[in-house]
Amino acid sequence: MNPFPVPPRRVTIIALLALLALLLAPFAVPPYQTVLLSYGLVFAIAALGFNLLLGYTGLLSFGHSAYFGVGAYAVAFIVKYLGIESMEVFILGGVLASAVVAALFGFLCVRYTRIFFGILTLALSQVLWSLTYKFFWYTGGSDGLRVPTPHLVAGAVRMARGAAEDKLGFLSHRYYYYVLVLFVLCVAVMWVIVHSPFGKALQAIRDNETRAEFVGVQVWRYRWVAFLISGAFTGLAGALWVPLNGLTTPDIMHWTFSGEIVFFTVLGGFQTFFGPVIGAIVFNYLKTFAVGYTVYWQMFLGVVLVVLVLVLPSGIVGTANRLALRLRRAPAT
Amino acid sequence: MDTLLIHILNSLLYASVLFLIAGGLSLIYGVMRIVNMAHGNLYAFGAYTSAWAVGRVLGNAPSASPALYALLPVGAVAAAGLGALLEPTLLRPLYKRAEEYQLLITFGLLLILEDLMRLIWGPYPLSVSALYEGLGSLSIGESIYPTYNLVVIVVGGAAAAGLWAFVYRTQFGVVLRATSQNMRMASALGVNVNRVYVEAFTLGCFMAGLGGAIVVPQQGAVLGMGPDALILAFVVVVIGGLGSLEGALIGALMVGVVREFGITFFPEIELAVLYLMAAIVLLIRPAGLLGRA
């Protein structure tokens, strides 16, 4: 079996065009927009991980902020206690820490499905949230922990000290490409995962647990591994997010952020591979726009969510696919 | 001894309000199989409405007249009205869809209601502490205790008793329980399920609103109180069993006691202990202490 199944030609073309646009973006748009796009790509990585559970395994987690937060706080602790400012160490620490936590939480959670799974993941993520909130002498409490701009690629790429380069310039250019490379890697890895026999087994579990079990799939074990991978991806996103934000606070551990992860995955369309990616990027723009435009941004997002659920439940990509299909089937007149 | 008594009273106070919120959440889940993430916001809506109504009448008068206490339940009625409006318009189209969508739409509702309250009542807290102070305090041994807290405990207890009587001793209660046990069968026997759903949802919202209304003299109404209360209500219903009213009562008492003693003896991990309690119960008895699977 081909380890890297080739997507349909239409998808390949669109993906390559999108990648080209992403590569050229820093030259075409102001730095602020590039930073915004970096946030979007980071959230897209989290969404890819999250969707392995929701879209491919059929488990709705309402506690993914925990793994994002653990990734972010692992980075902050590395800076605070080890004094290391290397992005590669950050990523290693963030992914490892979130994988460990996801393995532990997942071990408990995957015995349940449906609403109990959702509430259990939520309760466990809130345990972490309350700990980061209350143990302020370690975590800085609601003030959070500051994280300086790291150097990249084992110190080869640094932000020039002094007036030569400002932080925005660094983030909007070098760091953006760094995030982009990791994002493309994540997409590729996730693509392989969902098309591997393992991924097929997950989809079998999602579609019919009993049948999957009879075919010989160890349902519990597969769900657990999916949970672990999902948590590690989300943790990577957390680790990449901190240098962008410069600060990590308990807010990203709070369950409302888990709600946002669910939101953008559904916005893009969780029944498709690329849906969550698009959803994350679009959501990031929507939220930034709404926050800048009105104090009532939550209401705006809430209305978007309600309309989405009522009118476009298959999300942006799902709806686009359906429209494309209808266009192609329409008789040429 | 006095300190212990005060701790127990505080636990009961806390449990009363929690029961009102979690009882409504559990009732709605039991009948409709929907986890209403906006439930905490209906509690907050009750608190805001009561605070606003009392504040309008109170004006700048220095002392509270007894009639004002009768105005507090306005919040409960308002929350019930809101519930009666929301169920047929937003939730009804979704009963046939996957439960992910039901969670999501109530999450959207949570976001909308949160800002709706900011829009109506502004970003600052509303308080009607005059009602709290108006009742003075009692002396328990050498300590003093606010009388209003006892009122909250009594209301909470009365609500629990009233709800029990309503569900187990009335015709409507029979229909409600029948629908909860088997919606299709109830429907086949001539129960108007749509109507039962509206009524159950309204009743649940009424309880949440009542919780907000009685808590507002003591704590005031602030933004963000809804989602916070929701998470604690989740803990309560998970411990007691989703869909079980008795479970909500026991869960509320447990959470009330643990929280009160947690704040005194282990403040750093008080919240973590509550969530861990929920997680442990869920692991040992997935359906909760009194729930049915």
pLDDT in tens, B56-67: 877 756 566 777
Mean residue pLDDT of chain B comes to 85
Question: In sequence order, what are the residues at sequence separation of 6 or more whose Cβ sits closer than 8 angstroms to the Cβ of residue A59?
Answer: A53, A110, A113, A117, A223, A226, A227
Domain ranges of chain A: 31-264
- Name the more confident of B266 and A182: A182
Confirm if A91 and A78 have CB atoms less than 8 A apart.
Answer: no
The pLDDT assigned to B19 comes to 92
The structure's pTM equals 0.86
The pLDDT, as a whole number, for residue A293 is 84
Would an 8 Å CB–CB cutoff place A266 in contact with chain B? yes
Q: How is B235-273 classified by DSSP, letter by letter?
A: HHHHHH-TT-HHHHHHHHHHHHHHHHHHHHH-GGGHHHH
Average pLDDT, stretch B269-277?
A: 81
Q: Compute the average pLDDT of residues B9-33.
A: 89
Quick one: average pLDDT of B131-138?
A: 77
Q: Distance (Å) from the C-alpha of residue B68 to the closest C-alpha of chain A? A: 32
Establish if A154 touches chain B: CB-CB under 8 angstroms.
Answer: no
- Is it the case that residue B270 has pLDDT exceeding 70? yes
Per-residue confidence at B243, pLDDT binned at 50, 70, 90?
confident
- B217 domain-assigned: yes
pLDDT at A160: 64
Contact criterion met (CB below 8 Å) for A121 and A105 = yes
Question: In chain A, which residues have pLDDT < 70?
Answer: 1-3, 154-157, 159-165, 330-333
Which of B109, B238, B267 faces A302 most closely, judged by CB atoms? B109
Residue at B293 is within a domain = no
Nearest CA in chain A to B272: A127
Nearest by CB to residue B269, choosing from A123, A134, A263, is A134
Chain B residues within 8 A of A256 when measuring between CB atoms: 227
Q: Write out chain A in H/E/C secondary structure.
A: CCCCCCCCHHHHHHHHHHHHHHHHHHHHCCHHHHHHHHHHHHHHHHHHHHHHHHHHHCCCCCCCHHHHHHHHHHHHHHHHHHCCCEHHHHHHHHHHHHHHHHHHHHHHHCCCCHHHHHHHHHHHHHHHHHHHHHCHHHHCHHHCEECCCCEEHHHCECCCCHHHCCHHHHHHHHHHHHHHHHHHHHHHHHHHHHHCHHHHHHHHHHHCHHHHHHHCCCHHHHHHHHHHHHHHHHHHHHHHHHHHHCEECHHHHCHHHHHHHHHHHHHHCCCCCCHHHHHHHHHHHHHHHHHHHCCCHHHHHHHHHHHHHHHCCCHHHHHHHHHHHHHHHCCCC
Q: Which of residues 47-106 of A touch B (CB under 8 A)?
A: 54, 60, 62
Provide the Cα torsion B165, B160, B218, B149; round to 10°. Answer: 100
Whether the complex's predicted ipTM is more than 0.90 is answered with: no
Nearest Cα to Cα of residue B233 among A121, A66, A123: A123
pLDDT at A109: 82
Chain B partners within 8 Å of A56 (Cβ):
none
Domain annotation covers residue B11: no
Looking at the complex, does the CB of residue A24 fall below 8 Å from at least one CB of chain B? Answer: no
pLDDT recorded at residue A155: 67
Identify whether B246 is part of a domain.
no
DSSP class of residue B89?
I
B31: containing domain = 20-223
Look at residue B10 in the predicted model and tell me its pLDDT: 86
The residue type at A314: S
Q: Cβ–Cβ of B275/A124 closer than 8 Å?
A: yes
What distance in Å separates residue A252's CA from the closest CA in chain B? 15
Which tens digit of pLDDT belongs to each residue from A214-227?
Answer: 888 888 889 999 99
pLDDT tens-digit series, residues B137-193: 778 777 788 888 888 899 888 988 998 888 888 888 888 888 888 888 888 888 888
Please check whether residue B85 lies inside any domain of the structure: yes
Residues 6+ apart with CB under 8 A from B205: B24, B39, B42, B79, B80, B82, B83, B84
Q: Of A101, A136, A90, A133, whose CA–CA distance to A238 is shortest?
A: A90
Q: What is the pLDDT of residue B168?
A: 87
Where does B50-208 show beta strands of DSSP type E?
137-140, 143-146
* B124-183 residues touching A, CB cutoff 8 A: none
Residue B54 structure tokens: 């009392």
- Domain assignment of residue B175, yes or no: yes
Look at residue A167 in the predicted model and tell me its pLDDT: 75
pLDDT beyond 60 at B289:
yes
Query: Hey, are the CB atoms on B115 and A305 less than 8 Å from each other?
Result: no
With respect to residue B253, please indicate whether it lies within any of the assigned structural domains: no
Per-residue pLDDT, A186: 92
Mean pLDDT (whole number) for B69-82:
87
Is B4 domain-assigned?
Answer: no
Residue B235 CB: number of other CB atoms within 10 A? 30
Give dist(CA A161, CA B77) in Å, integer. Answer: 62
